[in-house]
Amino acid sequence: MIDSLESRLKSELNIRRKEHLYRETRVHDCDLLNLSSNDYFNLRNNSKVLSLANETANKYGTGSGASPLLSGYLPCHEELVEKLLSWKKKKYGMLLNTGFMANQAILKNLPKKNDLILADKYIHHSMAQALNRGSTKFKRYNHLDLEELEELLINNINKYDTMFVVTESVFSMDGDYPDLKHLIKLKRKYPFLLILDEAHGTGVLGATGAGLSEEADVQDEVDIIVGTFGKALAGNGAYVLTNSSSIIEYLTNKAGEYIYSTFLSPHQAGVALATIDIIMDAHKKREALRDISQWLRNQIMNIVKVETQFNTPIVPLLVGNPESALKLQELCMNKGILVGAVRPPTVQADSSRIRISLNSELTEEKLTPFISVFKEWAKR
């Protein structure tokens, strides 16, 4: 029996190798110029963050010791929820171990058989997987196309108990974002519940880094905000925030992602408590991040198509096929530069790319070697 399984697995993996879609985990040298990390403010090694994280772990232990409904929910977790609610302008919230689990918990449990989900085609896999495995009907609208979304709303209004609209703030593979003010106008016109994944918007957008909803001044009108501590907040874990107590109570009682897993460690709660305070006051670093993003886009716009109206730290360089992405990644690695080669099924066919992920400590001088490598590759 095991032989037949081994044979099938090896066969499938060989196909992926031939198609240049094979993935493997590598140990990465910390001395490389890292243009692949989502740590947008370089806080992972910040002394204040490490100090509070260690202090919290010393007080409450290395781990939570249990699921949150047993004994794993500790005072540091409660403090973190309260800080998030104040920052993101919501009334009720909960923590989960990962952003993937948070999106799964929401979309597998809140929408039901007589509901409809309308989702941007480029939503994260954590959301797309939940749609495909659930019993709720769903439709996908073209990326950022709010006119098509409105058509779907018009055509389906009054046909379902509840309509959900699901989108990211900053999209993880493209670095762009929806016109959230216009989306809220649609919400006022057609009744639906808006779920916004602020994973990559948090820290980067908004006066205090609270995300796209703060940037657009519509925090009160977003029904559910999902976010993670794994990007700008430099740790692990996630959260769900809302103004509905019923939503949090329901997920607490129904979401297996929350109920059946040992809870977020005190150390990681301490990381988030520290990084939120730093990011809220990081006005100059946010500006520096926007400036370096715009500079890089301007430098490469004559080499490859790149959106210049979005100045987020995610800069996709579309190179076409998977083999080209891997060759460019290898060329960068040989020059001491770490970049991510993103291929199908993460992105659509023929849209393989190098996904540049910037941080606020990068300068024009530090990025010049990458520009040189990219120009060298383009000549080939």
Catalytic residues: 38, 124, 168, 172, 197, 200, 231
Q: Contact 243/92 with Cβ under 8 angstroms?
A: yes
Q: What is the dihedral of CA 110, 97, 248, 93, to 10 degrees?
A: -130
As a whole number of angstroms, the distance between CA 241 and CA 89 comes to 9
Q: Contact 33/336 with Cβ under 8 angstroms?
A: yes
Give every CB contact of residue 179 below 8 A, 6+ residues apart in sequence: 144, 146
As a whole number of angstroms, the distance between CA 92 and CA 85 comes to 7
Q: Contact 359/313 with Cβ under 8 angstroms?
A: yes
As a whole number of angstroms, the distance between CA 137 and CA 145 comes to 20
Closest of 190, 193, 189, 191 to residue 167, by C-alpha: 193
User: 283-300 and 364-379 are packed helices; what angle lies between their axes, rounded to 10 degrees?
Assistant: 20
Closest of 242, 166, 176, 233 to residue 199, by C-alpha: 233
Distance of alpha carbon 72 from its chain centroid, rounded? 26
Distance of alpha carbon 66 from its chain centroid, rounded? 27
Tokens describing residue 325? 């992405």
Q: Pick left, alpha or beta for residue 37 (phi over 0 → left; psi -120 to 50 → alpha; otherwise beta).
A: beta
Tokens describing residue 178? 């929806």
Q: What is the largest CA-CA distance in the chain?
A: 60
Phi, psi of 189 (to 5 degrees): -85, -40
Closest of 359, 215, 367, 369 to residue 295, by C-alpha: 367
Pairing mode, strands 238-242 and 224-228:
antiparallel
